[in-house]
Amino acid sequence: MDTNELLLFDVEIEEESTEDSLSEKERRLVTQPFDFTVRSLVDQIEDGAISVDATWQRKYIWDNVKASRLIESLLLNVPIPVCYFAEEVSEQYLVIDGQQRLWSIYRYLKNQFPLKGLKTLGHLNRKRFFELNPKDQKFIRSRTLRCIALTQESHPDLRFDVFERLNTGSVSLTSQELRHCMYRGDLNVILEKLCNDPNWLRCLKRKNPDERLSDQELILRFFAFYFKLPAYKPPLYKFLNEFMRQYRKIKAEDIDIFISIFTNTINNVFSVFGENSFKRIIRDGEQLQIDKNINKSLFDLQMFVCSRLSPKECTEKSKEIIDSFRDLMFDTEFTDLITRSTDHRTRVIKRINLLLAQLLRHNIKIDIKL
């Protein structure tokens, strides 16, 4: 498989942790049901009160035949599945389930496509909304859809869990796509910008960023550990969720700091490891080979080192840095730490300490409190 088309990852077993289970008080999920008419839904999509913006959520993938069948269901008074929203601080509703349905309805009432492929109401094929008779237009506008909103009072982790449970389409959203939907803001913009960094793409041996946002999740992971390592506790996905939520709004001057930290780090990484960045050295018989897959734990460690050394230090000490990692590749304990139960806090700290000790043997000292 072409690594320019798919970001490959080494197999790392991240065992689910029970250390961070929610208390009874935190297990609070507050919902509010609404019965919106189609007219109301279209108006709220138009003025932004309901967001079905395909630029930040899953792309609109329904073809006109499938969208037409939905319109036919409205005309036949067939029940439409419930739509789910998440209420934002701005009181805007983000669609977390039902985007394809709502966008199809909006598109049709805005005359963006003619009905196509209808069987029961075949006489309506090739008709746009304005071409329907007034009675049918009125009937569609007056149909109601049940919508359930997860209010702001709901615990953020529960909102994310509900989003995952509702994410049952033919192509499920990834964890980062879910975060991208739920925690829109400045950090999203930063991640999107940085995943196009030339040296980042060279390190990943890619021509373009991953459409499923796996590389954005890696960059998020770097920032979370860079700024919050001492406070880290599993499970990792909640740690990343919280960081994304906390930094969804960033001051203008801090945006430049984020960008500078990442750019300097990835430049250092590429200057030291080149296209072998984030990949294990493995034995194949008596031969040593560079694994084709990215190991996320190794990614953490190489970014950790190169974010705390200057460009001059990375240039002058590149051999020593490479040798430090090479020596660890054949340490049984270290190999276990980067391939199994990788999100446990004690194992995260242990592999960092092993690396720091190895660097010190090569006269590279990094001071950090863990």
Supply the pLDDT for residue 46: 94
State residue 26's pLDDT score.
Answer: 58
Residue 107 lies in a domain: yes
Higher-scoring residue by pLDDT: 137, 150 = 137
DSSP symbol at 368: -
Q: Is residue 17 part of a domain?
A: no
Residue 207 tokens read as 């021509």
Instruction: List Cα–Cα distances, 198 to 194, 207, 259, 263, in angstroms.
Output: 9, 9, 13, 10
Residues 147 and 61 both lie in one domain? yes
Write down the mean pLDDT value for the chain. Answer: 88
51 shares its domain with 190: no
| One domain, residues 290 and 353 | yes
Q: Which domain holds residue 315?
A: 175-361
Q: Tell me if 21 is assigned to some domain.
A: no
- Alpha-carbon gap, residue 327 to 341, rounded angstroms: 22
Return the exposure string of 107-132: e unless at least 16 CB atoms fall within 10 Å of the residue's CB, then b: bbbeeebebbebeeeeebeebebeeb
Q: Residue 338: its pLDDT value, please? A: 96
Same domain, 267 and 305: yes
Residue 1 has pLDDT above 50, yes or no: no
| Domain assignment of residue 14, yes or no | no
- Whether residue 241 is contained in a domain is answered as yes
Q: What is the pLDDT of residue 3?
A: 35
Whole-number percent of the chain with pLDDT over 70: 89
Q: Which is nearest to 223 in space by CA: 184, 181, 252, 195? A: 195
Chain segment 332-367, per-residue pLDDT in tens: 999 999 999 999 999 999 999 999 999 999 999 998
Q: What are phi and psi of 182, to 5 degrees?
A: -85, -25
Contact 348, 296 (CB under 8 A): no
122, 153, 184 - which closes a domain: 153
| Residue 266: closest CA among 328, 195, 200, 202 | 200
- The H helix count followed by the E strand count for the chain is 16, 7
pTM greater than the 0.85 cutoff: no
How many whole angstroms separate alpha carbon 113 and alpha carbon 128? 6
Give the pLDDT confidence of 224-275 residue by residue, as tens digits.
999 999 999 999 999 999 999 999 889 888 999 999 999 999 999 999 999 9
Is there a single domain that holds both residue 195 and residue 331?
yes
Q: What is the pLDDT of residues 53-82, one digit of tens each?
A: 644 455 678 999 999 999 999 999 999 999
User: Do residues 82 and 214 both lie within one domain?
Assistant: no
145 and 189, same domain (yes or no):
no
Same domain, 65 and 183: no
Helix H, strand E, coil C: the string for 81-92 is: CCEEEEECCCCC
Cβ within 8 Å of residue 230, ≥6 positions away? 369, 370
State the pLDDT confidence band at 27, using cuts at 50, 70 and 90: low
Q: How far apart are CA 196 and CA 110, in angstroms?
A: 35
Residue that wins the pLDDT comparison between 297 and 184? 297
Domain termination residue (choose one: 120, 153, 186)? 153
Task: Confirm whether 321 is domain-assigned.
Answer: yes
Same domain? 325 vs 203: yes
Q: Which comes out higher in pLDDT, residue 97 or 159?
A: 97
Of the two residues 166 and 180, the one the predictor is more confident about is 180
Q: Is residue 162 part of a domain?
A: no
- 37: helix, coil or strand? strand
- Answer for the pair 225, 300: CB distance below 8 angstroms, yes or no: yes
Task: Classify the C-alpha dihedral 200-206-210-211 as positive or negative.
Answer: positive
pLDDT value at position 177? Answer: 85
- Whether residue 273 contacts residue 322, with contact meaning beta carbons closer than 8 Å, is answered with yes
Q: Region 205-214: what's the mean pLDDT?
A: 92
Task: State whether 225 and 341 are in the same domain.
Answer: yes
Most distant pair of Cα atoms in the chain: their distance: 82
